[in-house]
Amino acid sequence: MEWIEASGKSIEEAVEKVKAILEVDLNEIEVQVIEEPKVGLFGRVKNEAQIKARIKPRLQHNRFKKTTTSSKAARPAKKSRDDSKRDDSKRDDSKPVRKRSSNQKKVAVKPEPTKEKKVTQPNKSEEKLTMEQMQNEKQIGEEFLTGLVKVLAVDATVTSEIIDENIELAIGGDNLGFLVGRKGATLSAIQEITRQVVKNKVNERPARINLDIAKYRAKREDALKDFAIQVAHEVASSKVSKAMEPMGAVDRRIVHNAVTDIEGVETSSAGVEPRRYVIIRPKSED
């Protein structure tokens, strides 16, 4: 079994990632610590833990041996011709086969009544919004963000546009880092509040509303794509799987899409929210 590498804020977190990749219990894994985590000021993790691991060779051999033995044991024993003759001789042919009397009446089977098809109403969530509805929602979202910027006394401008079925809202200006927050947490919260405001005012399925502040999402998406492609090429070359850091659903989708066209690798998600992450592994040959 080849070694695989993983990282995490602690050795335990890195080991959990390895368990998800190998799909085995902890006692079946052989782990080697490459680098222990380093803690900086105020208890913040400066460098993540790095480990490599594999399934213990002895356990892997035993698994193969056990599977082979059980498959042989499961095969049924072949019967000899003499045994089959003995089985035939044991059949009880003394009982006559009962024939149907000519007086017996055939029972007519009545056809089941045809059921009327129910006419299902179209799901409201599947209905497409008109351009007029989307323009209305765009205006509501823009007015809400303009009021928010005014209350915060921030020198910023709010812009909006409709792309496909999405309403793209943006706040531009200088020194807007506090509106973005750590890893975009504040930005995501403002976006969700904006969606709820629009939904409460229109009383219908709102369009998809996306918010960007100081071009944070655009810059992060480009950086995340470049990093995912770099990791994918390393995996394709080394044949060693790698688990990326936990990230939200939007960022995971960016990673999956960025790696799709790279030969020799495939991706999957593992873990539980909010610590769900992407695994990039060598593509299995069918």
| Predicted TM-score (pTM) of this structure | 0.50
Is residue 207 domain-shared with residue 190, that is, in the same domain?
yes
Quick one: which of 45, 69, 62, 53 has its CA closest to 18? 53
Asked whether residue 85 is domain-assigned, the answer is no
Higher pLDDT, 244 or 1: 244
Is residue 228 domain-shared with residue 270, that is, in the same domain?
yes
pLDDT tens per residue, range 93-104:
444 445 444 444
Task: Give the percent of the chain with pLDDT over 90.
Answer: 39
Asked whether residue 123 is domain-assigned, the answer is no
Mark which of 214, 231, 257 sits at the end of a domain: 214
pLDDT tens per residue, range 181-192:
988 889 999 999
The DSSP-derived string for 33-102 is: EEE--EE-GGG-EEE-EEEEEEE-HHHHHHHHHHHHHHHHHTSPPPPPHHHHHHHHHTS---SPPPPPPT
| pLDDT for res 104 | 46
- Give the domain CATH number at 263: 3.30.1370.50
Q: Is 229 in contact with 259 (CB distance < 8 Å)?
A: yes
Asked whether residue 53 is domain-assigned, the answer is yes
Q: Is 236 in contact with 265 (CB distance < 8 Å)?
A: yes
DSSP letter (8 states) at residue 149: H
- State how far Cα 278 lies from the chain centre: 8
For residue 188, give its domain range: 128-214
pLDDT tens per residue, range 9-43:
888 888 888 788 877 777 788 888 888 877 654 45
Tell me how many domains the chain contains: 3
Q: Per-residue b/e over 231-266, b at no fewer than 16 CB within 10 Å?
A: bbeebbeeebbbbbebbeeebbebbbebbeebeebb
Q: Is 198 in contact with 141 (CB distance < 8 Å)?
A: yes
Mark which of 53, 71, 89 sits at the end of a domain: 71
Average pLDDT over residues 172-178: 92
HSE-CB at 38 with a 13 A cutoff on CA atoms is: 5
How far, in Å, are 6, 192, 196, 247 from residue 46 at the CA level? Answer: 17, 31, 37, 18
Is residue 233 domain-shared with residue 190, that is, in the same domain?
no
Asked whether residue 107 is domain-assigned, the answer is no
Higher pLDDT, 126 or 229: 229
| pLDDT for res 6 | 84
| pLDDT for res 272 | 87
Asked whether residue 91 is domain-assigned, the answer is no
Helices (H), the chain: 11-22, 57-73, 81-89, 131-151, 177-180, 185-202, 216-238, 249-259
Residue 249 has pLDDT above 50, yes or no: yes
Is residue 253 domain-shared with residue 196, that is, in the same domain?
no
Task: Give the percent of the chain with pLDDT over 70.
Answer: 71
- Give the domain CATH number at 155: 3.30.300.20
Amino acid in the structure at residue 24: V
Q: Name the pLDDT band for 172 (thresholds 50, 70, 90).
A: very high
Is residue 173 domain-shared with residue 242, that is, in the same domain?
no
Mark which of 167, 185, 214 sits at the end of a domain: 214
Q: Is 259 in contact with 225 (CB distance < 8 Å)?
A: no
Residue entry with tokens 């790696």: 259
Is residue 259 domain-shared with residue 204, that is, in the same domain?
no
| Mean pLDDT, rounded, of the chain | 78
Asked whether residue 136 is domain-assigned, the answer is yes
